[in-house]
Amino acid sequence: MAPKMTKAASLSLAAVLASMSLLSACSSNSNSDAGNAGSGGGSASAGTASSPAASGKQVTLKVELFDRGNSPSPYTITNSYLTKYIQDNFGTPNNIKMEFVPVPRSEEIKKLNVLMASGSDVPDIVFTYDSATFNRYAQQGGLTDLTDLLNEHGSNLKAFLGEDTLAYGNFEGKQLAIPGKRSILGKYASFIRTDWLDALGMKVPTTTQELYDTLKAFKEKDPGKTGGKVIPYGMTIEPAQYDPLIWSFIQPTTDEQRFTLTQKLGSNEYPTLLPGFKDALQFFNKLYNEGLISKDFGLDKDKKQMTQDVQNGVVGFLTEDYPNLYYAEGTYENLLKTVPTAKLDPVDVLTNSEGKHAKPEYAPNGMYIMIPKSSERAAEAVKYLDWMAQTENMLALQNGVEGENYEMKDGIPIVKTDAPQDVIDRIYNYGDIVILANGKFTGDEEKNKQAFAAGFPPAYQENLRKALDISVADTFKPVLIDRPIEAESKYGTALQDKYEEMIVKAATAKPANFESAYESALKDYMQSGGQAIQDERTKVYQETK
């Protein structure tokens, strides 16, 4: 034992020594960064950056940046191709030193709260997806009103976002946030094992009733020969799985009902009080008790189990975020490795009482980009965003270098998936750098879709395109309210949990106990803030009418 230990000790000593030398190497690296300016990238024009070093004194612009711990070597989160590109093409010409402040992705709100509360040292540009957090900061008076700055420095920015999107950053008449923009608004699509249908000689179901019959047939006849392991309808306790089913049961509503009875929890709308919600749970309950949906769906918080089941070829039908199955080395590819004859095709099945495939779509905004009141660099911050909004800059930030990372074809950047790894790594976190955009922007919506599809393995692009088209068919938009619902900020997160608890409890109750399970869960939900939200929404509706 002893000699082994000394070996381990000397190894760790070596590690310490190595790290010491690394430490010094790193710091000297970062020092030389500034000196490097101007050498890298440099293909795109500098846009607003036409008067280099005009004012003489260099200022620092601090920008928040999500850190997901996935920076490929040799990059670090604050020192990568893209951060250099921004420094060289926006920072240096404008005499601005860009400083990116990494914030762990999963702790962003906590960290942001602490930074805000501590008063100083807050980045000049911060952002969050959480509308409750935005509302809170806005209400407590901690954000800069950007109306004038946008008029002065933000012409490209305004053109890029458009009035529709900008409206989401409006708080009681002030522009307190710049919302990011979504390129594609579709959310969900359904998928079915068409090879199973063929084996049973059945047609693709087109209504919820037909789907039910199909699920029954999957269960009884087990066309996939899974040895009884068949899960006709893959289910989890994630919105992508339960949302489409529940919304398809919601009955046509008046504007007033839609406004007052919907509850927005976090960034999603929930139909808890809308007519039809109970029917949805009743159907859920039926599916569960007849063994048609995943038995442990209430445990599947991250779709892990369902994804495994799909890959193992035991799931017949599912709903999912439309692109999720078709990524390279993703679910569909793995399914084909297990069951080479499998066909999992996008379909539009779930129908509402009018026979429409009604489903929700995203609001057109992405994250809320904010400039704290304490920031002294608000003008520079808007200039930066304006620079980013310019077509050629966004193209370069999202796609890398033409000819190396992508080829232009009919005005659409086609990603070269066979590029060397170090070339691909250049833009590994473009989604986090380009905070203005949620998805790639290449011009109009159709082009965005094509560009998005082009990023997928060629063999699945057709299916992906179909799923995408399904996801935007028969959709309805979330309600935009021009003032915050305070109760939603306060109870939103807690109610999300209660909502899912309600689904699970109502679905898994014995059919005879459904009524009481639903009633008591709903009561708990209403007591925990649901009632407060309904009251406030009703009040706001009457005031704005």
Partner 1 sequence: MNERTSNRIFDTVNVILITIFVLICLAPFFHILAISLSSNRAVMSGDVTLLPIELDWNAYRSVLSDMSMIHSLGFTVFLTLLTTVLCMIMTIAAAYPLTHTKLKGRKVFMFIIVVTMFFSGGIIPEYILVKNLHLLNTVWALVLPGLISPFYLIILISFFNGIPKSLVEAAEIDGSSQLGTLVRIILPLSLPVIATLSLFYAVGRWNGFQDTLLYITKTELYPLQLKLYQLVQNNMISDLTQNEGPSAMAATPESLKAASVVFATVPILLVYPWLQRYFVSGVMLGAVKG
Partner 2 sequence: MEAALYSRSAGEEIGIMRGTVYLRRYWQLYALLVLPLAYFVLFKYGPMWGVQIAFKDFNFFQGIAGSEWIGLDAFREVFHSHDFFKTLRNTLMLNILDLIVSFPAPLILAIMLFEVKFQWFKRLSQTILYIPHFISWVIIGGIVYQVFGTQSGMINNFIVSLGFEPIPFLTDKNHWLFTYLATGVWQSAGWGTILYLAALTGINRDLFEAAEVDGAGRFKRIWHITLPGLKTTIATLLIINLGNMIAIGFDRPFVIGNKMVMDYSDVLSTYVYRTGLESGQYTLATVVGLFQAVVGLVFVLGANFASKKLTDEGIL
By CB under 8 A, is residue 7 in contact with partner 2? no
Indicate the angle between helix axes 486-508 and 131-139, nearest 10 degrees.
Answer: 160
CB of 349 to partner 2, least distance (A): 24
Is the separation of the CB atoms in 436 and 385 below 8 Å?
yes
By CB under 8 A, is residue 294 in contact with partner 2? yes
Q: Which one of partner 1, partner 2, none interacts with residue 296, CB within 5 to 8 A by kind?
A: partner 2
Is the separation of the CB atoms in 271 and 262 below 8 Å?
yes
How big is the chain by its Cα radius of gyration, in Å? 26
* Nearest to partner 2 of 335, 451 (CB atom): 335
Interacting residues with partner 2 between 430 and 489 (CB under 8 A): 489
CB of 230 to partner 2, least distance (A): 12
* Nearest to partner 2 of 79, 528 (CB atom): 528
By CB under 8 A, is residue 252 in contact with partner 2? no
**Residue in 207, 180, 190 with CA at minimum distance from that of residue 367:** 180
Q: Is 409 helix (H, G, I), strand (E, B) or coil?
A: strand
**Residue in 82, 88, 64, 157 with CA at minimum distance from that of residue 379:** 157
By CB under 8 A, is residue 367 in contact with partner 2? no
Chosen residue from 490, 531, 536, 541 binding partner 2 by CB under 8 A: 490
Is the separation of the CB atoms in 234 and 317 below 8 Å?
yes
Number of residues that bind partner 2 (CB under 8 A): 41
Omega before 323 within 30 of 0, i.e. cis? no
Sign of torsion, CA 350 352 353 355?
negative
State the amino acid at position 528 in one-letter form.
S
Angle at 242 between CA 236 and CA 248, to 5 degrees: 155
Query: Whole-angstrom distance between the N-terminal and C-terminal Cα of the chain?
Result: 80
User: Judged by CB under 8 A, which stretch of 33-41, 73-81, 439-447, 491-499 contacts partner 2?
Assistant: 491-499
Interacting residues with partner 2 between 108 and 137 (CB under 8 A): 109-110, 113, 116-117, 119, 132-133, 136-137
Which letter, b or e, does each residue of 176-194 get, where b requires 16 or more Cβ atoms within 10 Å of its Cβ? bbbbbbbbbbbbbbbbbbb
Q: Is 231 buried (19+), middle (13-18) or exposed (0-12) by CB count in 10 A?
A: buried
CB of 140 to partner 2, least distance (A): 5
Mask: binding to partner 2, 63-102, rule CB under 8 A, as x and -? ----------------------------------------
By CB under 8 A, is residue 494 in contact with partner 2? yes
CB of 163 to partner 1, least distance (A): 22
Chosen residue from 501, 538, 540, 541 binding partner 2 by CB under 8 A: 501
CB of 393 to partner 2, least distance (A): 33
* Nearest to partner 2 of 257, 508 (CB atom): 508
By CB under 8 A, is residue 311 in contact with partner 2? no
CA dihedral of 434, 438, 440, 442, whole degrees rounded to 10: -90
* Nearest to partner 1 of 101, 371 (CB atom): 101
Would you tell me which residues interact with partner 2 (CB under 8 A)?
1, 109-110, 113, 116-117, 119, 132-133, 136-137, 140-142, 237, 294-296, 298-299, 301, 304-305, 373-374, 489-494, 497, 500-501, 503-505, 508, 524, 527-528
